Amino acid sequence: MKDFFKVTDLDRIFEYIPDFTVVDSEIISLPDTTDRIVAADIISGVDLPGFERSTMDGYAVNAASTFGASGGNPAYLTIKGSVVMGESPDFSIEPDEAALIATGGMLPDGADSVIMVEYTEQIDETTIEVYKSVAPGGNMVETGEDVARGSIILSRGQKIRPQEAGLLAAFGNEAVAVYKKPIVGIISTGDELCPAGRTPKPGKIRDINSYTLSAMVEKAGGIPRVFGIVKDDFDSLLAVCTKALAGSDMVLISGGSSVGVRDLTIEVLSSMPDSSILAHGISISPGKPTILAKIGNKAFWGMPGHVVSAMIVFAIVAKPFVEHIGGLAPEYRRSWRLPAILRRNISSSQGRTEFVRARLVEEDGALWAEPLLGKSTLINTMVKADALIELGLNAEGLDKGSEVSVIIL
């Protein structure tokens, strides 16, 4: 308890991320891969596309046969045949010849480009006029131009979005090795808490953090596992923490991280086998009393009890840890930021990184950030907020009209 005010800088907290173990992998079917994380590099065994194909309706030609063609001086080409979609042409193109082709059709041998049908006119059954020249490679895709054989299709640690799923389908990957979703245990502590479905008695409040943190865990790629509300009792808290740790890849406990005779989180974590307290206090606001412990190879967080503080601490501090143990590589871990103009003055205290809730308003072609000031017990400020304004350790505040970088919530 004596070390409480020796807070740890935020950057130092992030340096602990690689110390925690990534979850195991599993094989799942392609339709189930959306937002999952690739567990091993996937290499292309073939070229994509596997043949030269047209990107336009028109005529496959040898580009040199069209050089100099114009409306006043058209090139005349002989129609050699027609490319059937889904089949390989059984003929080749010689100079001054052309083959009718649809978008996606396979170019016959001898063709190196496609002239768009808009720049041609068929003058009889065997002849077309061409009114515009085309360069070699025009209106077509080369073999392997999308992805070459032997290339990395997707990298380990990359998230699979709809476009990555389409790429996997293009190579026939019906099953994919992905990291399992990390299970994140969630515990709420405090004699003052009651379940959300119960009417609180005087002096009590409903548990909010179990729901907000569960939703945030899901959005971060994890699976929340709620272990309920625990009273301010050492033995009860230790029992639930032990159970949560055994059944989770990471644990979040909200409440009990600040100084107080009834706040037992730090004592419970310190008493658990193979535990080390990495931080008891982080130089951020809100969320200064946050605890980070390492128990075995798992992260155990003591989150603030106030809902706004807990949500901001998760969004800024804990989320990158969830993403890391879920296998997401650093280059794919992003917080989305936008430039905005500050709508009113805000003050700040030096020595801590401060995150101010803000509502974003677009007016006259500019994006404005309107600070939402309020105590960390007021969840309506988070409901109204679209973003967070970050004020650095040495900032004394910002003036109205300043350009700020906002973190999108």
Give Cα separations from 202 to 175, 191, 193, 229, 230 (angstroms). Answer: 55, 12, 11, 18, 19
pLDDT tens by residue, the chain, 409 residues: 444 457 899 999 999 999 999 999 999 999 999 999 999 999 999 999 999 999 999 999 999 999 999 999 999 999 999 999 999 999 999 999 999 999 999 999 999 999 999 999 999 999 999 999 999 999 999 999 999 999 999 999 999 999 999 999 999 999 999 999 999 999 999 888 999 999 989 989 999 999 999 999 999 999 999 999 998 889 999 999 999 999 999 999 998 655 553 468 999 999 999 999 999 999 999 999 999 999 999 999 999 999 999 999 999 999 999 999 999 999 999 888 999 999 999 988 777 899 999 999 999 899 999 999 888 778 899 999 999 999 887 777 888 999 998 999 8
How many angstroms separate the CA atoms of 361 and 345, rounded? 16
The predicted pLDDT at position 258 comes to 52
Domains of the chain, start order: 10-21+181-332 (3.40.980.10), 25-48+145-179 (3.90.105.10), 53-141 (2.170.190.11), 337-408 (2.40.340.10)
In the chain, the amino acid numbered 4 is F
Q: Are 82 and 123 in contact (CB under 8 A)?
A: no
The predicted pLDDT at position 183 comes to 98
Is residue 135 classed exposed, middle or buried when 0-12, 13-18 and 19+ CB atoms within 10 A define those classes? exposed
How many angstroms separate the CA atoms of 177 and 398, rounded? 47
For residue 266 the two structure tokens come to 């730090």
Q: Are 24 and 180 in contact (CB under 8 A)?
A: yes
Give φ, ψ of 258 to 5 degrees: -95, 170
**Minimal CA–CA distance to 308: which of 360, 359, 373?**
373
- Is it true that the peptide bond before 286 is cis, omega within 30 degrees of 0? yes
How many angstroms separate the CA atoms of 59 and 139, rounded? 10
How many angstroms separate the CA atoms of 204 and 199, rounded? 9
DSSP string, 87-125: S--SSB--TTEEEEE-TTPBPPBT--EEEEGGGEEEEET
The predicted pLDDT at position 27 comes to 98
Report which DSSP code applies to 261: T
The H helix count followed by the E strand count for the chain is: 8, 28
The predicted pLDDT at position 385 comes to 93
Give Cα separations from 92 to 103, 144, 171, 264 (angstroms). Answer: 18, 21, 28, 81
Q: Are 47 and 149 in contact (CB under 8 A)?
A: yes
Strand partners, 371: 358
The predicted pLDDT at position 374 comes to 80
